Amino acid sequence: MAYVLIITEDDKTAVPLREKIVQSGYDCSFVSYDEAQDMLARRLPNLILADINLRIEARAWDIIVNIKKQSNLPVIGWLPAEMLTDLDNYHEIDDFIVCPCGDAELLLRIKRLLKKTQETDNTEQIQCSGLTIDLATCEVTVDGTKADLTFKEYELLKLMASNRGRVFTREALLDKIWGYDYFGGDRTVDVHMRRLRSKIEDANHTYIETVRNIGYRFIKDNRL
């Protein structure tokens, strides 16, 4: 079941909208822009519906740009008509709707964008010994069973699986995934890596190994 995350400052609008989306067969929740990063750290959506208006435009846009820098999550912008003149500047938005709009139009746009991102070929997937990372939908499966990864866990896995055999120091992973201005220590990487491995590895599957006193690497040999 696809998961849609609504980011909005208007709870009164979000509650009935969430109900409509759930009734259409999707999982859905909503958060404020201040809560968005924490939610993404806990659960990765298949699509983001971002409520953007002139009052919160700058803050909303900073968060959307940051999300798109770290992932290819599809984003639908929910905009007032007066913002259409600046739409060319919003490169990170994959689609948009003008509010107010009908439920049917919104649900159709969600359906079409999800379908578009799910129509992937093998070049948009990373596969290794039962592990599949779908780069278009940001979904990870092990032997066909979905692994429920957080935003950071997914980004760690994608980075390492795209560079099989390469050793990443903890400092390099902090820089690439959390950013150069992040002040957390090496322990942050170890905690996230341990949680990631617990979700994708078992007695029959090993993908990541610890390189003592250095960091981590994704095992290069497919014959695990």
Question: What pLDDT, on the 0 to 100 scale, is given for residue 195?
Answer: 95
If asked whether residues 76 and 169 sit together in one domain, one would say: no
Are residues 114 and 138 part of one domain? no
Q: Is residue 223 part of a domain?
A: no
pLDDT for the residue 62: 85
Domain coverage including residue 171? 122-218
Q: Would you say residue 64 lies in a domain?
A: yes
Beta pairing partners, 49: 6, 76
Nearest to 73 by CA among 22, 107, 100, 39: 39
Same domain, 198 and 111: no
Of 77, 95, 118, which residue sits at a domain end? 118
Q: Are 193 and 156 in contact (CB under 8 A)?
A: yes
CATH classification at residue 182 = 1.10.10.10
Handedness of CA 75, 44, 1, 30 (dihedral sign): negative
Q: Tell me the whole-structure pTM to 2 decimals.
A: 0.62
Verify that 97 and 178 share a domain, yes or no. Answer: no
Q: Residue 71 domain-assigned? A: yes
pLDDT mean for each 10 residues of the chain (224 residues): 92 91 95 88 88 79 82 85 72 84 90 79 77 88 92 92 91 83 74 95 93 91 48
Domain boundary among 100, 118, 136: 118
Q: Is residue 224 part of a domain?
A: no
In this structure, the answer to whether residues 182 and 113 fall within a common structural domain is no
Same domain, 106 and 170: no
Do 137 and 197 lie in one domain? The reply is: yes
Phi, psi of 9 (to 5 degrees): -105, 5
Contact 110, 82 (CB under 8 A): no
CATH number of the domain enclosing 73: 3.40.50.2300
The residues, any chain, with a CB within 8 Å of residue 80's CB and separated by 6 or more, are 53, 54, 98, 99
Q: Which residues have C-beta within 8 Å of that of residue 116, sequence separation ≥ 6?
A: 74
Among residues 214, 123, 129, which one has the least CA distance to residue 164? Answer: 129
